[in-house]
Structure 1
Amino acid sequence: MCNGIDGWFAVLADCEPAGSIYEKRPRVACGEVFHSSGRPMLVGCWCGERLLEVRIKNMRVFLIGLFSVSSEELRQRLGSARRAEEVNRAVSGLAGSFYVIISGDDRVQIRGTISESRRVFRASVDGVAVGTSMAGLAARLAGAKLDENAIALQFSSLSSWSLAETTSWRDVYAVPGGSALNLTSAGRSEVTRWWSAPEPSQTLREGAEALRDGLRAAVTARVHSVNGVLAADLSGGLDSTSICFLAHEAGAGLVTTTIHWSAAGNEDGYWADLAASGLSGLERITYDSGQLPELFSDIGQRHHAIDEPSPVVRERSQLRVVSRDLAGVGAKLRLSGHGGDELTNPDVAHLAALVRRRPVKGFRELAAFRSRERWGAKETWQMLIDQQGYRAWLTRMARPASLVAARRFYPPGWEVPPELPPWATESAVALVSDILRSAADRASALHRTRSGHSRINTAMRGGRMAWQLAQAGAQMGLPVSSPFCDDAILEVCLRVRPDELRNSRTYKPLLKAAMRGIVPDLLLERETKDHSGVEWYRGLRSRRRELAELVDDSILVKLGFADAGRLRRALMNPDMHQVSVMTMESTLGLETWLRDTHAMSV
């Protein structure tokens, strides 16, 4: 019976052996759809989200997710479509976040979102291909074991398109964003590409108009999909503030949350309070950081594992309290500004091309960013002269010396380079190096330019994080949705020229231009971004006993990937080591996920 929290589904081909796979399904299924043959096609639990079916010609088209389009509107969009390719073109640009499932011509096609905020996985179960919305579900159906190579890659905080099909389990594969899984009546599977990136040809003004319309439609789709109160983060940042004003404009019954962090110079609370004053009728829940559980306060406790390791481990106990309080006032869905950074404030991988195309502007921007980001002269020069393709760049990054190099002040390349932490063993470095070299041999870029590839890969990294947040939120009783990660929004941002999307003078110029007239001008003047650094260090210091016990029984140490002594020293004295917050959280997230996964399997 549906509990309104855990969402999942599995898609089965129209073949006789699929019946035995159907019998292995989780018993909490709340919905089923059958092929015309009577065999099961779709089984799962999508409570809190819509399932829409439209029949056209010889096909059945399903949307699962958050969207506002009606059956008749979708039927009109589909028109005379006869093939899956035509269906995908017809639904392109629809507002919201959703899966598309197409049944016809003895096959079923399933796809998620380009950003991977909704993902699809494939596995072979008893010799028959199956598609699922969760990797863990595919692993359970197939009886798959954890893949130590994948764990090593996660240890390096790698988010590379070259390994887009990799999951944490052997013989379970992700369907990359922009691709679709096709299941045939013979029980086989094929992955096909349905999306190609638009060229960045629009000006800031053109892009701002499109982003305004797109975000307005995306948030409105959530408002119309939720029958009840809508929650939203009001952190003080530009992304969450924009989402709140759009939801308010759409007539949502809105309740927001704000956490006031304790650092003396933290401005988030000030900007959040200022934003709240412009939202009439707003119901608001605010916390001083001391009113919530400390960060990392449940680091030693076991939890239901989501599909992938996640840095949400630091704030899991806080999220649980906030979700409980929001659900207590009737909230059905929580909106997040996640993904705004990745789409509207990407890295500056376009600088080398800009210098060649427009030298005066290019060198001016290069000097400004080099000063701000503290790039070295050698590294900056190398970026300018580097004409390597994606494969060659990835091969260079796979060298053991590159994998352990500190990259805190380094110009961008094709992707964020993989970087193993200082407590990684030599065997871990060697294994990751071998895997990356092998991947480089067959890698192909997402776009012909370094900047284009980087922007898409960054958006996908943000989408995967949104997918993790959605799973974590659902487990805590309040699903989380990230409008910035919608396909329609991603494509709008990709169409804007990179030198207009990001410049050295203005913070998030595209988003500010898009929100002018919706968000008060004073709020659009913010040029800063704050964090919870004081609470982060305090949480680690107060959990030294639990962290020491974690190292003593570390799965990463047992696998030979982490050196216990170096890891213990870093965790016991985090402020004495020049290790990034992200690096530390990545290791803790991976270790706790491995423990949670192991606890679920015994």
Structure 2
Amino acid sequence: MDFLILPDSEDAAALAQVGAQPGGSRDRNERRDPRVVRHASGRPWVVGHWDEDEIVTVSAGDRRIVLLGRARPAPGTLERLLETARSLHDVDSLARRLPGSCHLTASFEGRVRAQGTLSTARQIFHTRVSGVTVAAGDPARLAALAGRGVDEESLALRLLTPGPPWPLSLRTVWSGVAQSAPGHWLELTPGGECRAHRWWSVPEPVAPLSRSAGTVRSALRDAVGARARAGTAVSADLSGGMDSTSLCFLAAATGAELHTHHWQPLDLANDDALWWERSAAALPDARHRSVPADRRPTWFQTPPEHHAAGGGLLEGPLAWHRNHAQMEFVARAAAGAGARTHLMGVGGDELFSPSPTYLWSMVRGHPLTSLPDLNRMRLLNRWWLGPTVRGLLDSRPFAASLRAVADGLTDPLPHPREPSFGWGGVPRMPPWATGDAVATVRRLLGEAADARPGPMHRDRHQHQVIEGALVSGSALRQMNLALDGTGVTLEAPFLDDRVLEAALMVRTEDRVARGRYKPVLTAAMRGVVPAQLLGRRSKGEFSAEAYEGLLRNRRLLLERCDDLELARLGLVDAGALRAGLLGPKPETRDLTPFENTLSCEAWLRGPVRTAPAAALTAHPTGEPR
């Protein structure tokens, strides 16, 4: 799917005739005529490529609403809204209760509302073209339309490991192309201007588990139901972990024809295989596919049809670059089974596996009752007492944490026994980043700190949960654009707005329980997933796959060091990167810096477009009913 959203004006209408080349897979979309949904004025509003089951359109007089994606509104919901709404702000009520995951856009009396999802798995980007603000779901399409090039400073930010902190994570790699902030919708005016409006804020964690378990269950059931229907084929991961297992049982309950996928782990000590066998046995009507370790693509492997399936990875460097070949393998297998949707458990860890920072929140909200949890976690992880106490006492504001990240860009990582209770991770530039790249990133972080941004929630753990969802949602969106040519969409129900909100409302003290893994999800899935499968306390570990991937692909990676695009831009020292690839890596975390660097390099080697593409002529199909 790809599309442009245009304001209701003659200048914008002209852009529909000289718009960008189709996004996603060019080979796939160039064989299809573009579709258009029109404003009440008759001018083009939404122009692009989508399948019939990916769009819902409703109109009433000079008002209309379009949903693009996987959403299943209750019958009559959209019609009643159009009858009663007084302005675009009244669409908030729909956005707050709509199940599934979609782009939502509305046209009311010449004004346009456009928004994606809270996790940005579906996102709205915008730029100005000939004095008109245009929106889209793919920033590269807007860059091509406006003739904009790559923002090399943003590319330097992408070298940060594990990634740039919020709000710099919202910065695109295309000059002059911006994306909406979480919880905001974009208004496009007939005069060509735009403005952002907040419609959602991170909720307070006040709901007890006894009440929130049912809310999470209902939200997840609706999320899966928006994608899986009786009599239709749906593909899903079944790793053996609790997240994917929950989705498979929810999908099976819809009556859909379920096809599951499992990667057999390389490490025999990884008990994912054991739990997969148990889960598969409890789903006898599903068709299960288990791929042996020696028959699957490796990490860091380039997909065999990189350009045809990915269209050049147009949005930017893939966050999941290391798994690109594996994800293409899964998507093509799903397509071969007749499925157009593949469910993933992405988002489950972010919502239901609290980071150590939950202790920082507990100490402030429940200082006495938090002590047993704190002591247990310190002993379990062998944290040193001094750094633990200092971390828990740290109360620096969010802006100051950005300054601290800037100051420590090239410092060694903290020792594993020094826990982090900060606002986010501990980003570092890789050792092969040039001095210019480090200086650029330090300046950008400093400028962000000087702007004194607030966090997404005053509680550090709540902020981290939503930031984690943003990271995963962005990665999912990028991969879907890269795999558009397969005809299969990767879907992550845990990242749906209603599921995310339900999880964020759970009390912090209920998110961890002694002797129980993911207690909130476990409680929510009682009666859905067999009790024996809810008792797992372990989690699969895949460092063996990471080491193997680098080893088996090292020759190609070393060859790239001889002609490194990142070196040509002055961002990476090719010799230092080569030494890093050849050097010892005694700890798994020593592998992490390679991921973003190799992703940026792979993207730069693709057909990155920086100029307007061929004309996009809109045909009057997909009109509102």
TM class by shorter-chain length?
A: over 0.9
Distance 1:159 1:343 in 2: 20
Tell me the secondary structure at the aligned position of residue 269 of structure 2: coil
- Alignment check: 8 A CA contact 1:413 1:454 kept: no
Among residues 425, 430, 454, which one is paired with 2:434 in the alignment? 425
Would the alpha carbon gap of residues 451 and 92 (structure 1) be closer, same or farther in structure 2, given more than 3 Å must change? same
Counterpart for residue 283 of structure 1 = 287
Aligned residue type for 1:384: L
Listed as ranges, the matches of 1:33-72 within 5 Å are 33-47=37-51, 49-56=53-60, 59-70=63-74, 72=76
Per the TM alignment, residue 368 of structure 1 is displaced from its structure 2 partner at its CA by 2.5
Who is 1:389 aligned against? 397
Match of 2:123 in 1: 119
In structure 2, the CA distance between the partners of 1:56 and 1:368, relative to structure 1 (3 Å rule), is farther
Name the residue aligned to 2:4.
10
Q: TM-score by structure 2 length?
A: 0.90
Q: Assess if the C-alpha contact under 8 Å between 2:314 and 2:608 holds in 1.
A: no
SS at match of 1:360: coil
1:273 Cα deviation (Å)?
1.1
Aligned partner of residue 420 in structure 2, secondary structure:
coil
Q: Is it true that 1:201 corresponds to 2:201 in the alignment?
A: no
Partner residue, 1:210 = 215
Structure 1 residues 288 and 83: CA distance shift in structure 2, 3 A: same
Letter in 2 for 1:253: E
1:117-516 paired onto structure 2 within 5 Å: 117-157=121-161, 158-224=163-229, 228-298=232-302, 303=307, 304-399=312-407, 401-407=408-414, 409=416, 410-442=419-451, 443-503=453-513, 505-516=515-526
- Structure 2 Cα separation of the partners of residues 579 and 428 of structure 1: 22
Is 1:584 aligned to residue 610 of structure 2? no
Alpha-carbon distance in 1 for matches of 2:52, 2:289: 23
Question: Which residue is 1:4 aligned to?
Answer: none
CA distance in 1 between counterparts of 2:377 and 2:83 reads: 49
- What's the CA shift for 1:35? 1.8
Instruction: Give the counterpart letter for 2:278 in structure 1.
Output: L
> Residues 553, 185 of structure 1: CA spacing in aligned structure 2 closer, same or farther, 3 A cutoff?
same
Task: For residue 200 of structure 2, give the secondary structure of its aligned residue in structure 1.
Answer: coil
- CA offset digits 1:541-570 (Å, max 9, x no partner): 122221111112112222222222221122
Cα 1:548/1:319, change in 2 over 3 Å: same
Give the alignment partner of residue 82 of structure 1, picking from 80, 86, 97: 86
C-alpha distance 132-87 of structure 1, shift in aligned 2 (>3 A): same
Superposed CA offset, 1:375-429 (max 9, x none): 4434322222212111122122221x34533146331311223221222222222
Equivalent residue, structure 2, for 1:560 = 570
Contact kept, 8 Å, 1:342 with 1:458, in 2: the verdict is: yes
Q: CA deviation at 1:323?
A: 2.5
- Output the amino acid matched with 1:525: G
Contact 2:231 2:255 in 1 (8 A): no
Deviations 1:31-50 (A, max 9, x none): 20112222211101122643
- For 1:3, the equivalent position in structure 2 comes to none
Tell me if the contact between 2:409 and 2:438 (Cα under 8 Å) persists in the aligned partners. no
User: Measured at CA, do residues 154 and 503 of structure 1 come closer, stay the same or move farther in structure 2, by a change above 3 Å?
Assistant: farther
In 2: Cα distance, 1:505 partner to 1:108 partner:
51
Residues 407, 551 of structure 1: alpha-carbon distance in 2 compared, 3 angstrom cutoff: farther
Higher mean C-alpha deviation, range 483-492 or range 11-20: 11-20
Alpha-carbon distance in structure 2 between the residues aligned to 1:300 and 1:558:
26
Which residue is equivalent to 2:25?
Answer: none
Letter in 1 for 2:301: S
Using the TM superposition, give the Cα deviation of residue 317 of structure 1 relative to its aligned residue in structure 2, in angstroms.
Answer: 2.6
Aligned length, in residue pairs: 594
SS of structure 2 residue aligned to 1:366? helix
Structure 1 residues 68 and 357, CA, compared in 2 at 3 Å: closer, same or farther? closer
Distance in 2, Cα, partners of 1:97 & 1:348:
29
Once the two structures are superposed, what CA deviation does each residue of 1:305-326 show, in whole Å capped at 9, x if it has no partner? 1413224332333333332232
* AA matched with 1:106: G
The superposition leaves residues 145-203 of structure 1 with CA deviations (integer Å, 9 ceiling, x where unpaired) of 10011011111143432225410011011111211111110011112211112211001
- Displacement, 1:471? 2.4
Between 191-200 and 251-260, the greater mean CA deviation after superposition = 191-200
Over residues 457-508 of structure 1, what are the superposed CA-to-partner deviations in whole Å (9 max), with x where a residue is unaligned? 1221121122123223433332111101100001000111122123554221
User: C-alpha displacement at 1:600, in angstroms?
Assistant: 8.9
CA shift at 1:581, angstroms?
3.6
Q: What's the CA shift string for 1:494-536, capped at 9, x where partnerless?
A: 1111221235542211001111111111111111111333232
* Separation in structure 1 between the aligned mates of residue 118 and residue 66 of structure 2, nearest angstrom: 17
CA shift, 1:272, in A, is: 0.8
Q: 1:102 to 1:332 in 2, by over 3 A?
A: same
Greater relative contact order: 1 or 2 (C-alpha under 8 angstroms, separation 6 or more)?
2
Amino acid at match of 2:184: S
Q: Is the 8 A contact 1:241 1:275 kept in 2?
A: yes
Give aligned-pair identity as a percent. Answer: 35
Q: Rate the CA distance shift 1:73–1:574 in 2: closer, same or farther, 3 A.
A: farther
Q: Provide the rounded CA distance (Å) in 2 between the counterparts of 1:300 and 1:426.
A: 35
Pairwise CA RMSD of aligned residues? 2.3
TM-score by length of 1: 0.93
Match of 1:543 in 2: 553
Structure 2 residue matching 1:169: 3-state secondary structure: coil
Displacement of 1:121 after TM fit?
Answer: 0.4
Matched with 2:623 is none
Query: 2-side partners of 1:467 and 1:562: how far apart?
Result: 27
Distance 1:299 1:33 in 2: 35
- Alignment-mate amino acid for residue 213 of structure 1: S
Whole-angstrom distance in 1 between the partners of 2:558 and 2:609: 20
Tell me the CA shift for residue 206 of structure 1.
Answer: 1.4
SS in 1 for 2:206: coil
For 1:435, give the aligned amino acid. Answer: L
State the shift of 1:118 in Å.
Answer: 0.5
Structure 1 unmatched runs, 5+: 1-6
Between the aligned partners of 2:91 and 2:537, the Cα distance in structure 1 is: 42
SS in 2 for 1:151: helix
